[in-house]
Chain A
Amino acid sequence: MKIDIAGEDPVTQAVIERLLTEYRDDLTINNKFPVRGGQIKIFAPKYNKLKSPIFLLTDLDGYNCPPELIRDWFGSTQISDDLLFRIAQDEAESWLMSDIEGFAKWLEIDTNLIPKTKMIDKKKGIFEIRFPYKPSLFLMNKLAINSRNKDLKDALSPLKGAKKGPAYNSTILSFIYKSWNIKNAVKNSYSLSVTIERLVDFKK
Chain B
Amino acid sequence: MIISKIKLINWKNFQQVDVNLKSRAFVVGANASGKSNFLDAIRFMRDIVKQAGGLQFAVEQRGGVSKIRCLAARQISYVGIEIHLSEDEKSVKPIWKYSLAFKHSGGGIFAKQATIVYENVLDINGKSILNRSEDDQQTEDSETLKFTFLEQPNSNKRFRDIYHFFQEIQYLHIVPQLIRDSDSYMLATNKEDFYGRNLLERMDKTNIKTRDSFLKRINEVLQLAVPQLKNIEFKKDKSGIPHLEATYEHWRAKGAKQQESQFSDGTLRLIGFMWALLDGQETILLEEPELYLHSAIVQQLPEFIYKLQRRKGRIRQVIISTHSYDILNSPGIGGNETIVLSPTKEGTRIDTAIEMNDVKDYLEAGLSIAEAVIPKVAPKNIQQILQLKDRD
Residue numbers of A with Cβ under 8 A of B are 4, 10, 13-14, 29-34, 43, 45-52, 167, 169-170, 173-174, 177
Cβ of A50: which chain B residues have Cβ within 8 Å of it?
361-362, 365
A173:B387 contact, CB within 8 angstroms? yes
Q: How far is the CB of B386 from chain A (nearest CB, A)?
A: 3
Contact stretch, chosen from B105-113, B182-190, B366-374 = B366-374
Given A30-B358, A32-B378, A33-B375, are A49 and B387 also a contact pair (CB < 8 Å)? no
A170 to B364, CA, bound (A): 34
Cβ of A45: which chain B residues have Cβ within 8 Å of it?
366
Cβ of A49: which chain B residues have Cβ within 8 Å of it?
364-366
Q: Provide the B8-31 mask, 1 if CB < 8 A to any CB of A, else 0.
A: 000000000000000000000000
Complex: chain B residue closest to A17, CB-CB: B383
B376 touches A (CB below 8 Å): yes
A46:B376 contact, CB within 8 angstroms? no
B367:A43 contact, CB within 8 angstroms? yes
Task: Name B361's contact: one of A10, A43, A51 (CB within 8 Å).
Answer: A51
B386:A43 contact, CB within 8 angstroms? no
A33:B366 contact, CB within 8 angstroms? no
A52:B358 contact, CB within 8 angstroms? yes
Task: Name A31's contact: one of B325, B358, B383 (CB within 8 Å).
Answer: B358
The 8 closest A-B pairs by CB, nearest first: A170-B386, A49-B365, A31-B375, A46-B366, A46-B365, A50-B365, A33-B375, A32-B375
A173 to B384, CA, bound (A): 9
B365:A47 contact, CB within 8 angstroms? yes
A168 to B362, CA, bound (A): 31
Q: How far is the CB of A16 from chain B (nearest CB, A)?
A: 12
A–B complex contacts, Cβ < 8 Å, 11 sampled: A10-B383, A29-B380, A30-B358, A32-B378, A32-B380, A34-B325, A46-B365, A51-B361, A167-B386, A173-B386, A173-B387
A167 to B388, CA, bound (A): 13
Cβ of B358: which chain A residues have Cβ within 8 Å of it?
4, 30-31, 52
Task: Name B371's contact: one of A10, A29, A33, A174 (CB within 8 Å).
Answer: A33
A170:B387 contact, CB within 8 angstroms? yes
Contacts A4-B358, A48-B365 known; 15 new A-B pairs at CB < 8 A: A10-B383, A13-B383, A29-B380, A31-B358, A32-B375, A32-B380, A45-B366, A46-B365, A49-B366, A50-B361, A51-B361, A52-B358, A167-B386, A170-B383, A173-B386
A29 to B358, CA, bound (A): 13
Q: How far is the CB of A71 from chain B (nearest CB, A)?
A: 20
A43:B387 contact, CB within 8 angstroms? no
Cβ of A29: which chain B residues have Cβ within 8 Å of it?
380
Cβ of A52: which chain B residues have Cβ within 8 Å of it?
358, 361
Q: How far is the CB of B217 from chain A (nearest CB, A)?
A: 34
Q: How far is the CB of B349 from chain A (nearest CB, A)?
A: 16
Cβ of A31: which chain B residues have Cβ within 8 Å of it?
358, 375-376
Cβ of B374: which chain A residues have Cβ within 8 Å of it?
34
Q: How far is the CB of A73 from chain B (nearest CB, A)?
A: 14
Q: How far is the CB of B362 from chain A (nearest CB, A)?
A: 7
A14 to B358, CA, bound (A): 22
Quick one: which of B341-392 are within 8 Å of A by CB?
358, 361-362, 364-367, 370-371, 374-376, 378, 380, 383, 386-387
Q: Provide the B323-342 mask, 1 if CB < 8 A to any CB of A, else 0.
A: 00100000000000000000
Q: How far is the CB of B360 from chain A (nearest CB, A)?
A: 10
Complex: chain B residue closest to A45, CB-CB: B366
Cβ of A174: which chain B residues have Cβ within 8 Å of it?
386-387
A13 to B378, CA, bound (A): 15
Given A31-B358, A31-B376, are A14 and B367 also a contact pair (CB < 8 Å)? no
Q: How far is the CB of A92 from chain B (nearest CB, A)?
A: 15
Cβ of A33: which chain B residues have Cβ within 8 Å of it?
371, 375
Complex: chain A residue closest to B375, CB-CB: A31
Q: How far is the CB of A11 from chain B (nearest CB, A)?
A: 11
Task: Name B387's contact: one of A13, A32, A46, A177 (CB within 8 Å).
Answer: A177
A182 to B239, CA, bound (A): 75
Q: How far is the CB of B330 from chain A (nearest CB, A)?
A: 16
A174 to B378, CA, bound (A): 20
A51 to B359, CA, bound (A): 11
Task: Name B383's contact: one of A4, A48, A173 (CB within 8 Å).
Answer: A173
A43 to B329, CA, bound (A): 14
A43:B375 contact, CB within 8 angstroms? no
Complex: chain A residue closest to B385, CB-CB: A170
Q: How far is the CB of B192 from chain A (nearest CB, A)?
A: 37
B371:A34 contact, CB within 8 angstroms? yes
A108 to B287, CA, bound (A): 49
A43 to B368, CA, bound (A): 10
Task: Name A14's contact: one of B362, B365, B378, B383 (CB within 8 Å).
Answer: B383
Complex: chain A residue closest to B366, CB-CB: A46
Complex: chain B residue closest to A169, CB-CB: B386
A46:B386 contact, CB within 8 angstroms? no
Cβ of A173: which chain B residues have Cβ within 8 Å of it?
383, 386-387
